[in-house]
Structure 1
């Protein structure tokens, strides 16, 4: 059941952010300067921006430490998902694949 929840969170974690990012790209193109101006436009947006940056660093640390411990392959994929979408995709995808890895290891030890 938890794997289904992680999968649904992956879908939401992709669709919800891109429902806002895609219109920005269509309207302004890949205007990095404008992107960061709007991201840090006021105190509350700075709050959310900083939260996402710190959460991303936590995710990267967790992915590399836990992924290495469990001998999970292709850890770069979760970092790429984090950079291209956000923690909202990178974290549930890693947790989904971690759950699968734990199940496989339990079957092997069986």
Structure 2
């Protein structure tokens, strides 16, 4: 299995598995962003701690991947922004690694 194929598999899993939980939530509450953030941070301390940890990791990933994309010449870096925003780091990270791997393969 190539790295690119592995990243594709992880993108699929990283999209499907979170949405198994997101879909019922949004079906029940609708797309109320205020309710969404309240659920992330106000449910309990564990949920708030986990949520802030993931959000900080996403912010760090965006900055690092932006810098790395400029160094590597990855023009479609911007795709990680909606990937992380609408699914999460579980999609954004393997997507960026896939883009990076394909760019490195072109350079070889």
Under a length normalisation based on structure 2, what TM-score does the superposition of the two structures give? 0.92
SS in 1 for 2:76: coil
Under a length normalisation based on structure 1, what TM-score does the superposition of the two structures give? 0.90
Unaligned runs of 5+ in 2: none
Q: Distance in 1 between matches of 2:65 and 2:8?
A: 17
Look up the match of 1:24. 25
Structure 1, 83-92 or 32-41: larger mean CA deviation? 32-41
SS in 2 for 1:75: helix
Q: Distance in 2 between matches of 1:38 and 1:65?
A: 32
The correspondence of residues 14-93 of structure 1 with structure 2, limited to 5 A, is: 14-40=15-41, 41-93=43-95
Deviation of residue 55 (structure 1)?
A: 0.8
Deviation of residue 63 (structure 1)?
A: 1.5
Unaligned runs of 5+ in 1: none
1:10-43 per-position Cα deviation (integer Å, ceiling 9, x unaligned): 0111001111111111111112222122211111
User: In terms of Rg, which structure is larger?
Assistant: 1
- Tell me if 1:97 matches 2:94: no
Deviation of residue 79 (structure 1)?
A: 1.1
Look up the match of 1:12. 13
Q: How many residues align?
A: 106
The 4+ residue runs of structure 1 with deviation greater than 4 A are none
SS in 1 for 2:31: coil
Q: Distance in 2 between matches of 1:6 and 1:51?
A: 23
